Chain A
Amino acid sequence: MIAPFFDGSPALTAVPIGFAFGATLERAGLGSARTIADQLTGRDFTVVKVMFSCIVTAMLLVFWADRLGWLDLTRVALPTTDVLPQLAGSVLFGAGFALASLCPGTACVAAAVGARDGLVTIGGLFLGTLLTGELWPRLGGLAVHAVRDDARLPGDLGLSTGVVVALIVGAALLTFWIAGRIEGAGGRTEPGPRAPWQGPLATAAAVLALLAAATGSSRLPGLGQLQAIAGDVDHETDHVDALTLAQWIHDRHRHLRILDVRDGLAFDDYRIPGAEDVPVQQIPTLSIAASDTLVIYSDGGGHAAQAWMLLRLRGVPHAYILRDGLEAWEEDVLAPRVPFGADSATLARFASIKSLSAYFGGRPSTAPAILGVRDTTGSVAQSPPKRRKTC
């Protein structure tokens, strides 16, 4: 089984993980606003050291777990990128960080160890969060500009993941070295002997980073990601049938997006209600939110399956192929028929299919014979309308 192992329900995991997080922050001295104030005056580099070594450690572990197929990175929630709001937010956040000398996490630590300023910072956090949430609709482009939920540095810089990892490790080691020089020169830290673990730790990080840069020269997806995609196909969790899709549309499934990958003429001819016209060529750059549930269809399903594979390789988790494509939509939703010699259970089920079909302007038939295929206007066509077939 490939990690992650649990879903996001907090019962099992949130308490031990949070406890360890809080204890580590306190142990590092980050529960004291003074540590952070000293960092911002450049006298003490605790904050920068903790953050940078945390990022480097987790980043190297993630890189190698992905490479070795232990972790399916597409199932790990990636923080959102939205450049303009994020720049504005970062400036505001940094200013508040300097004034309070605490951040949201360390404010909780400070409050827990009894500091009143920690508690007041938490009060301020609630105030700022609530006000911003309240004003959100009026902030316009300052709040939401161009949200990308799959933006990673390697893709945006055009470098392989391994090279980016190596560059960050290099920057961290350089920063630690400079921080040590400044702290030493400022006389605020007793020079002391170099701790014996420093050399080996830095060497290990550098070796793992250089290996990452060497192996990461190809931009192939990680083994874990490929195995997860293969598993979806094997377990048939890669598609939905036409009736399920019809039900989703009927129920106004909140994050549903339907992608029609046939050519534009076929799309103009007929499309599933609510579908977007997205040629396969646009799939690699299509803007997708993490919460989107995507259903892709073509005539039979060939192009849809190829588009699905592209989406999964892009790291989009919730993508489905419409099984048997538009043909299934026409047969199962627009013109459903009772099979010969149906029993009472089948007939009962057909009753609900009938109302669903009527919702889409279809004409369900209780006579088990071919009556005709629906066209877009909802009238019975005696011969199937000629659609431009692609794939």
Chain B
Amino acid sequence: MTARARGYADPILAGVALGVLLFLTFLLVGRGLGASGAFASASAAAAHAVAPASTATHPYLSDYVPSGPAGLLGDWTVVELLAVAAGAWASARLARRAPVPLTSIAGESPRSRLVLALVGGSLMGAGARLAHGCTSGLGLTGGALLATGAWLFIPVAFGSAFLVAYLQRRLAGARR
């Protein structure tokens, strides 16, 4: 199936639109787009709700506990990411795309798909903390601002992803 046959936009035009949006974000707010930062703030807030004392003194988590009167909703990236979900939902409805309850990927049973999603999500959560960002906050934002760290992240993360995807295919082939 091609991207166009699924009714999606041309990837380069979508990327240009995303680039204009990213630039507007720099211009308006003085920061870029992000995602993993919201998970850090939300995790710290959750930890703080469960164990306030140990989180408040924790050398890492305490930095992410929301301090303002609005709590978690005072965090720019958290609000932005909630709006991302709303925007995605609206876009899919407008395009009349039927919801896919579980993505089917060649060589993966529904159960292994969910296990891989959980393991992959955890690895990304850990990796994004160590790398100081993810594909959005470090890759796109840092890439456009020429941050050195972003230009380390992009090739290394994609290199690692291509390698793991290749090993996964080899493994699946061997099993079959």
* Residues of chain A whose beta carbon lies under 8 Å from any beta carbon of chain B: 3-10, 13-29, 31-35, 37, 40-42, 44-59, 61-62, 65, 70-71, 73, 75-83, 85-118, 120-134, 136-137, 139, 142-143, 148, 151-154, 156, 161, 164-165, 176, 188-190, 192, 195, 197-198, 201
- How would residues 7 to 50 of chain B score, 1 for a CB under 8 Å from any chain A CB and 0 otherwise? 01111111111111111111111111101100110111011000
B42, B83, B119: the one within 8 Å of A126 (CB): B42
Cα-based distance from A275 to B72 in the complex (angstroms): 36
B79–A99 CB distance below 8 A: no
Nearest Cβ distance between residue A382 and chain B, in whole angstroms?
Answer: 48
B84, A126: Cβ atoms closer than 8 Å: no
Q: Are A129 and B43 in contact (CB under 8 A)?
A: yes
B118: which of A5, A86, A111, A123 is its contact (CB, 8 Å)? A123
| Chain A residue contacts of B143, Cβ below 8 A | 51, 55, 59
Closest beta carbon of chain B to A82's beta carbon, Å: 7
Chain B residues 68-125 with CB under 8 Å of chain A are 73-92, 95, 97, 99-106, 113-114, 116-125
- Give which listed residue, A13, A26, A109, A125, contacts B121 with CB less than 8 A: A125
Interface pair A18/B164, CB less than 8 Å apart:
no
Are B151 and A100 in contact (CB-based, < 8 A)?
no
**Nearest chain B residue, comparing its CB with the CB of A71:** B27
Complex Cα gap A322–B78 (Å): 37
Nearest CB to that of B62 among chain A residues? A133
Q: Which 9 residue pairs across A and B have the least CB separation, nearest first?
A: A124-B121, A128-B125, A57-B19, A100-B120, A94-B160, A18-B83, A96-B123, A89-B130, A53-B15
Known: A29-B3, A115-B100, A152-B146. A77 touches B130 (CB 8 A): no
CB within 8 Å for A51 and B139 given contacts A8-B76, A17-B24: yes
Q: CA–CA, A35 to B161, complex, Å?
A: 14
Residue pairs across A and B with Cβ atoms less than 8 A apart, 29 shown, are A17-B29, A20-B87, A24-B21, A29-B9, A53-B12, A53-B14, A58-B23, A59-B144, A79-B132, A79-B137, A79-B145, A80-B147, A81-B147, A92-B130, A93-B128, A98-B168, A100-B120, A103-B134, A104-B124, A114-B99, A115-B99, A117-B113, A120-B117, A123-B121, A124-B123, A125-B125, A132-B125, A137-B58, A190-B2
Residues of B within 8 A of A (CB): 2-4, 6, 8-33, 35-36, 39-40, 42-44, 46-47, 58-61, 64, 73-92, 95, 97, 99-106, 113-114, 116-154, 156-165, 168-169
- Asked if A109 and B23 sit within 8 Å, CB to CB, the answer is no
CB of A54 within 8 A of CB of B19, answer yes
Minimum CB–CB distance from A195 to chain B (whole Å) comes to: 7
Shortest C-beta distance, A302 to chain B (Å), equals 32
Contact A4 B88 (CB under 8 A): no
Whether B27 and A5, one on each chain, are in contact in the complex, defined by CB atoms closer than 8 angstroms, is yes
Assess A90 versus B145: contact at CB under 8 Å? Given A8-B31, A62-B26, A136-B59: no
